A and B are shown apart, each in its own frame.
Chain A
């Protein structure tokens, strides 16, 4: 009788035991996946203190069941298979690898002085325009002739008020318009122009 009663109660409890075991196994598997998943060699460890100026790769098209993308600077673990964001290589020019830290400074400078701002990324100066702004002055003032339209010469400079008196004296019938550009971008354009001769 006792044996029969124990057997019948065990049979009655069996569904609850099975559900409990299944839940435990599921939880263990879910936790164990993230802990034991090996990190590949090509996948560098994510730096939580990643700079705000690090290049952001264009977002991949989201999978239908993918969660909402987090804020850009949130240090969340990478989803399996998601591309790693490339980290800034200090040996490369800053402007070639993402937003230039001087860009914000230049923008702030332009706003403070009421001078237009212009980015020069990918821009190549027309060597002929150095007939207006001699290379020596361009280097000294960190300024680049950008555009000549009619009687207006647009000059991009790292500072809002470069000393362009020589240009204004030589070309009294020319109007020189200054725009502020990131210093590193001005330097790159100048370096390229000097290499071109």
Chain B
């Protein structure tokens, strides 16, 4: 039996405990106070294979800092690869696995199943 997918509230609480921002990326929940749209130019700072393999997406680029959303922000590879790929300072925020998949598909097109 596959484990249950964590709900957005689980991720929200995880982010609160970690002191990290939580963002909703699914436009279907754009009314959520945590909703943040994905800047396509920023998203393309990370290649699609890199983003899909390491489960992250670049949301924004401001003042020399790239904001990257990931459901596992504690994976040391996420921060390291994002910094190496974008050659910029990286700020990691937390999002749900579902929202990441939706955002990746919107930016890069439907991915492989």
Contact = CB atoms under 8 A, between A and B. Distances in A.
Contact of B14 (A131, A134, A172, A197): A131
Contacts, number: 29
A127 interface: yes
A7 interface: no
A170 B10 contact: no
Which of B3, B17, B19, B74: most chain A CB closer than 10 A? B17
Contact of A172 (B4, B10, B19, B74): B19
Interface string A166-182: 00001111100000000
B17 A128 contact: no
B33 interface: no
Nearest to A174: B17
Contacts of B72: 131
Contacts of A73: none
A170 B74 contact: yes
B16 to A, nearest CB: 6
Nearest to A175: B17
Nearest to B73: A170
Interface residues of B, number: 11
Contact of B18 (A127, A170, A196): A170
A60 interface: no
Contact of A171 (B3, B4, B6, B18): B18
Contacts of B4: 127-128
A127 B3 contact: yes
Interface in B1-18: 3-4, 6, 10, 14, 16-18
A173 B19 CA distance: 7
Interface in A135-158: 151
A128 B6 contact: yes
A92 to B, nearest CB: 24
B10 A171 contact: no
A133 B75 CA distance: 13
A127 B10 CA distance: 12
Interface in B56-79: 72, 74
A173 B74 CA distance: 15
Contacts of B18: 170-173
A159 to B, nearest CB: 23
A174 B17 CA distance: 5
Top 4 closest pairs, chain A to chain B, by CB: A174-B17, A171-B17, A127-B3, A173-B17
26 contacts: A127-B3, A127-B4, A128-B3, A128-B4, A128-B6, A131-B6, A131-B10, A131-B14, A131-B72, A132-B17, A134-B74, A151-B17, A170-B18, A170-B74, A171-B17, A171-B18, A171-B19, A172-B17, A172-B18, A172-B19, A173-B16, A173-B18, A173-B19, A174-B17, A196-B3, A197-B3
